[in-house]
Structure 1
Amino acid sequence: MQAPESILKIWNRFDSFPMDTLVKVWNYDPQRELQQRTVEEMRKHRAKYGITGNCFDLALWLWQEFQENGVEASLIGHDLHTEEAHVAVVASSKEGFAYLCDLGDQWLQPILIDSESRDFRAGRHGGFFPAADIEVLPFEHHVNIFYHRPNGKRSSQSYDLSPVDYKEFLRAAELSQRTFRSSPLIECRLPFRGEVAHWELEGWQSQISTSKGIIHEPSLHTLEEWGERVHIRTGYDRKFLQRAMSDYFS
């Protein structure tokens, strides 16, 4: 179920990339016509501040890396042009088999979603998503992913596999970059006690999801405290965090 080296070597460049909604708050300029950053802008911001972006940023960046390295890939998404939008990438092996690549949800690695491949295996698989086993149920135009979490909990997500036109993707991305939440959402993969766990900040509560369950972190109350915790978890520049998070504390 693992992707071939041609896909993994590109994916692995993003191993330490969190997903967040902070960058668009920091980057927003009402005087500028377009808010969606180019990949070149994202690369510069990453080099200077250690920052990444939301699922549109990450999908666009990953897709372009695939394009530049000769890997066939397409942008996919659901609920585009709404607040519920989510986007990802499907990359193809040299044999033409499809692999789901979702940096926005902080997957550990791509997963095979093509049942015609001899490598496809039904059932549960570990090592693809933090703190959960994954089960893939593919259909002609979409794939259902089931997440088997600790203590018997199970959730699911459906991915529409229809390629999204590049211009439509950018229009949806533009709307996303202009849509702001009442509090930031930040997710990252976190080495933790011998595994890669999932750290998340949402609604000013942070937690670590592990194979043994969820660890709720102590509550914080000030901009300085939250900035330091996010810095420790993500590596984001402290001055960037103070600026990006200050709007939520004003």
Structure 2
Amino acid sequence: MKATEEILRVWNRFDDFPMETLTKAWLHAKGDRFKPRSVALMREHRKQYGTSGNCFDLALWLIDELRSEGIICYPVGKKLGTEHAHGAVIAMDREGKRYLCDLGDQWIQPVLVDSGAQNYTESALQGFFPGARIAVSSDGVQAKIRYIRPNGKESQAAFDLEPVGEAEFREAAAYSQSVLSRPLVERRMRICDSGRIVHWEYDRGRSRISSDRGLFAESEPHGEETWSGRISRRSGIDETVVREALSVCEAEGWV
């Protein structure tokens, strides 16, 4: 169910990239509310400020990187044009097998979604999503993903596997850029002593870590630490950018 080395080499370039909505709020403060960023500008911002972007930013960036290596890929999405939209990418290997690549949800690695492929299985698998096993059920047109948590709880998501028109996808990305949302930062992180990968999340004044051992809430900042400082330390985003973004979100009632 794992992607080819060719696809993984590109995917691994994003290992340290958080998924975050803070850049959007920061850009709103600068008057760029309705202007989605080019991939070139995303790269520039990351170099200067350590930012990355939301699911649409990451999908467009990943597509650019994949195509630069000659890998066929295309965008997919759900609920496009709404506040609940989500964007991801399908990458194809040299044999035409398709792999779901979802940086927006901070997957550890892509997963095979072609049910006719030799190695395809619908069994629960570890090592694809931090803090949960996943099980794929695909009919070739739509893939359903079950997320199975250590406590036995499950959730599910579905992805249409047919390509979204790139003009439509960019329009959805522009709409997402224009709508302020809650301050959200997610990052998969490797634990040094064990090599395990966990999922860290900040969401409106709370942070927590999901792992294969369960869900753990972090304490609130104390002493000289602030939320902007902790988020910056966990995500790698410049603290000034974080602070400005949180101020915008607070003014809009999102904090």
TM value normalised by structure 2: 0.92
**1:188 match:** 187
Equivalent position amino acid for 1:241 in 2? V
Query: Using the alignment, how far apart are the partners of 1:29 and 1:81 within structure 2?
Result: 23
Corresponding residue for residue 21 of structure 1: 21
Q: Aligned partners of 1:54 and 1:15: how far apart in 2?
A: 15
Q: What residue ranges of structure 2 are gaps of 5+ in the alignment?
A: none
Q: Which residue of 1 aligns with 2:248?
A: 247
Q: What is the 5 A alignment of 1:114-129?
A: 114-129=114-129
Alignment of 1:67-216 (within 5 A): 67-181=67-181, 183-192=182-191, 194=194, 195-216=196-217
- Secondary structure in 2 matching 1:243: helix
CA apart distance, 1:54:
0.3
Give the direction of change, closer, same or farther, for the CA distance of 1:121–1:43 in structure 2 (3 Å limit).
same
Gaps of 5+ in 1: none
What is the SS of the residue equivalent to 1:150? coil
- Secondary structure of the residue that 1:151 maps to in structure 2? coil
Distance 1:241 1:17 in 2: 15
Aligned Cα root-mean-square deviation (Å):
1.9
1:9-58 CA distance string (max 9 Å, x none): 10000011000111011112686585210000000001111110000000
Seen in structure 2, the aligned counterparts of structure 1 residues 174 and 221 have a Cα distance that, compared at 3 Å, is farther
The answer for the alignment partner of 1:232 in structure 2 is 233
1:56/1:189 Cα in 2 relative to 1: closer, same or farther (>3 Å)?
same
State TM-score, norm by structure 1: 0.94
Deviations 1:197-248 (A, max 9, x none): 0011112111000111111011248996001110111111122222222223
1: CA distance, partners of 2:176 / 2:250: 22
1:229 maps to amino acid: R
Give 1:188's aligned amino acid.
R
Determine the C-alpha separation between the residues in 1 that align with 2:38 and 2:29. 15
The total of aligned residue pairs comes to 249
On the 8 A contact 1:26/1:243 being kept in 2, the answer is: yes
Letter in 1 for 2:233: I
Question: Secondary structure of 2:128's partner?
Answer: strand
Q: Secondary structure at the match of 2:208?
A: strand
Distance in 1 (alpha carbons) for counterparts of 2:37 and 2:118: 39
- 3-state DSSP of counterpart to 1:152: coil
Looking at structure 2, the residues matched to 52 and 248 of structure 1 have their Cα atoms a distance apart, in angstroms, of: 18
